[in-house]
């Protein structure tokens, strides 16, 4: 049974000086800390998409009591490593942003769709980064849960398959053979195990990001000892953006396992 919907306060909050270094809070009523969801939009790290893709999901979750931080970030058209650096800074803004006092740091989930799924899995891996890597933090806030939705979570394979018309190549500045050091710190598959529980949600009919991306990640993560599973849902690549879809119901059910 769905929760009673609540009145939601929204607020745009900058986490940096660049025009894309912003996010939007979706806050349920009250002042107490709430389970918190960081939403990361997709679009193959391109310039044509922004956080508006996640607005329906952000509002749906906030109406049910989650504090949501829906972020923008610079695209893969910017010089390496702008995208990864932005997402790391945006995530760290949880503890200093306008609603930092309402973030339950023991119940933070990172949720991303498509390219945002890559970034969600990467954030869950961040404590594995070497000190010279983009996004490195000596003691990052680890999420309790990572949920890539149709995520590009195996970057090397995605680059070789030319997913998104070479979007991975554009993001990292080359194929794995040309810039292996960048793949080593950007490909979630190469940063396992994370020790962070993860649930990957993917449609078998996805034609933009094949199911094999999630299957590769789950196989390697579980083999490395991580608590990781795959949920296959009905629909296409975009069902994860529709709060009425099965994919979003699985998302809500999974988020509920963080506790009330």
Per residue in 245-257, pLDDT (tens digit) is 999 999 999 999 9
Domain boundaries, the chain: 9-258
> What pLDDT is attached to residue 6?
81
What values do phi and psi take at 120, rounded to 5? -65, -45
> Are 25 and 57 in contact, with CB atoms under 8 Å apart?
no
Q: What is the residue-averaged pLDDT of the chain?
A: 96
Which stretches does DSSP call E strand in 90-221?
Answer: 103-113, 145-149, 197-203
> What pLDDT is attached to residue 260?
53
> What pLDDT is attached to residue 4?
59
Separation of alpha carbons 87 and 72, rounded Å: 8
- Give the pLDDT mean for 115-124: 98
CATH, range 9-258: 3.40.50.1820
> What pLDDT is attached to residue 2?
47
> What pLDDT is attached to residue 1?
36
> What pLDDT is attached to residue 246?
97
Q: In terms of pLDDT, which residue wins out, 136 or 4?
A: 136
Q: Is the pLDDT of residue 41 over 60?
A: yes
Q: How many residues are there in the chain?
A: 260
Separation of alpha carbons 120 and 127, rounded Å: 13
> What pLDDT is attached to residue 150?
98
- Per-residue pLDDT tens digits for 189-243: 999 999 999 999 999 999 999 999 999 999 999 999 999 999 999 999 999 999 9
Which of 115, 17, 15 minimizes the C-alpha distance to 71?
A: 15
> What pLDDT is attached to residue 5?
75
- Per-residue pLDDT tens digits for 67-111: 999 999 999 999 999 999 999 999 999 999 999 999 999 999 999
Angle, in degrees to the nearest 10, between helices 82-92 and 115-124: 60
- Per-residue pLDDT tens digits for 133-183: 999 999 999 999 999 999 999 999 999 999 999 999 999 999 999 999 999
């Amino acid at each position: 049974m769905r929760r009673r919907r609540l009145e939601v306060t929204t607020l745009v909050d900058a986490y940096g000086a660049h025009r894309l270094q912003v996010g939007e809070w979706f806050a349920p009523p009250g002042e107490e800390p709430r389970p918190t969801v960081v939403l990361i939009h997709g679009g193959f790290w391109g310039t044509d998409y922004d956080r508006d893709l996640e607005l329906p999901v952000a509002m749906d979750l906030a109406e049910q009591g989650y504090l949501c931080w829906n972020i923008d970030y610079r695209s893969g058209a910017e010089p390496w490593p702008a995208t990864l650096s932005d997402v790391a800074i945006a995530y760290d803004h949880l503890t200093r942003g306008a609603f930092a006092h309402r973030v339950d740091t023991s119940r933070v989930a990172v949720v991303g769709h498509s390219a945002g799924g890559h970034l969600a899995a990467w954030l869950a891996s961040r404590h594995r980064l070497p000190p010279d890597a983009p996004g490195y933090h000596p003691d990052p806030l680890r999420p309790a849960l990572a949920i890539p939705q149709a995520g590009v979570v195996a970057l090397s394979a995605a680059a070789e398959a030319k997913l998104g018309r070479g979007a991975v190549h554009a993001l990292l500045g080359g194929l794995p053979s040309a810039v292996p050091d960048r793949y080593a710190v950007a490909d979630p598959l190469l940063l396992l195990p994370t020790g962070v529980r993860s649930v990957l949600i993917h449609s078998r009919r996805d034609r933009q990001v094949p199911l094999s991306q999630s299957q590769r990640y789950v196989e390697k993560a579980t083999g490395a000892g991580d608590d990781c599973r795959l949920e296959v849902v009905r629909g296409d690549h975009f069902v994860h953006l529709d709060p009425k879809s099965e994919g979003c119901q699985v998302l809500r059910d999974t988020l509920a396992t963080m506790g009330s």
